[in-house]
Amino acid sequence: MRRSLLQKLLGLFGRSIAFILYKLPRSIQFFLGDFIGLLWFDVLRIRRKVVIDNITRAFPELSYKDKVKMGRWSLRYLGRSLIQYSYLPFMTPEKIKKLVKFEGFEHLDKALEKNKGACLLTLHLGNGDLGVAALSLLGYPIQLISKEFTLRWLNDMWFGMRSRLGTKFIAPRNSSYSILKALKSNEVVIFVLDQFMGPPIGVKTKFFGHETGTAMGLTVMSKRTQAPVVPIYMKWNEDGTHTLTCLPPVEFEEQANNEETLTYMTQKYSDQVEEIIKKHPEQWMWIHRRWKKYKF
């Protein structure tokens, strides 16, 4: 009873704050988002070294000044995305179409015509939360593989807003049955493939030329179900709107044995993520420790 009341109060509080932020002029929203980013990167300096070290791995030719500039913009975009999270309770299909431009969706529609579902390959670039909301509001049956927060109240608030828009969530651990069920029902499952993952569910890959580990779940599921893998990403536009882009499906290529296939295709998917980042490097989330030392 107490927990139910607490949930209602937290929900009311969260929606009230979201409404205030949502109604602010976009220029003020950007100011607040940029302030969060600059506070994080330049004042508190949380993971600042991680950000710069990551950028150095990916773009060693850049000057230190340019690396700092890229890192700062990355956190500013992250701050802006956090402020725009307040949009979610008030989004409708009509509003989302004014805020987001859609490109290449013929690739996703054609993939779903095969009636095997579709796997979306994506990354932490731009405002991904708004991108997922846009897909749900367009009517696509979306299931997102996502970690949960340890704090239950934060988890309820964070995922609750998106669930109300139609997005369903799959926990990353022991998720095979849920993914297979969704694909069999011709639904769309989103795989976020830009973070480090070691064994037993990750394989050795290279990312921007440096050895790391990448989750092989997408390869396992695409091999098992033959569901098309469609790359997709969301980017900020200069006027504060967004563009959600689908790319042509990634062709699945079998290798000599199952182990080689898992490694080869996971690398191929990771290469696709890398190419997207190269187009908009300042909008990627550089704060993650993408390159960890781990024995494979």
Residue 296 domain-assigned?
Answer: no
Residue 289 domain-assigned?
Answer: no
Distances in Å between the Cα of 282 and the Cα atoms of 34, 134, 193, 196, 236 are: 14, 22, 18, 20, 10
Q: Cβ neighbours of residue 83 under 8 Å, at least 6 residues apart?
A: 21, 29, 30, 32, 33, 36
Which CATH number fits the domain that encloses residue 232? 3.40.1130
Give the domain range for residue 8.
Answer: 2-283
Distances in Å between the Cα of 263 and the Cα atoms of 121, 216, 218, 247 are: 16, 8, 11, 22
pLDDT at position 146 is 87
Residue 117 domain-assigned?
Answer: yes
Number of folded domains in the chain? 1
Residue 288 domain-assigned?
Answer: no
DSSP state of 203: E
- Kindly state the tokens that stand for 29: 């929203």
- Kindly state the tokens that stand for 187: 């639904």
Q: Cβ neighbours of residue 26 under 8 Å, at least 6 residues apart?
A: 240
8 A C-beta contact, residue 234 and residue 126: yes
Residue 66 domain-assigned?
Answer: yes
- Kindly state the tokens that stand for 275: 């190419």
**pLDDT tens-digit series, residues 140-156:** 999 999 877 676 666 66
CA dist., res. 189 & res. 54, Å (int):
28
Which of 163, 126, 153 has its CA nearest to residue 33? 126
Residue 220 domain-assigned?
Answer: yes
Q: Cβ neighbours of residue 216 under 8 Å, at least 6 residues apart?
A: 201, 202, 203, 262, 263, 266
pLDDT at position 1 is 53
Q: pTM higher than 0.85, yes or no?
A: yes
The label of the residue with tokens 């690739």 reads 107
Residue 291 domain-assigned?
Answer: no
Residue 293 domain-assigned?
Answer: no
DSSP state of 201: T
Residue at 245: amino acid letter: T
Name the stretches of the chain with pLDDT < 50: none
pLDDT at position 147 is 79
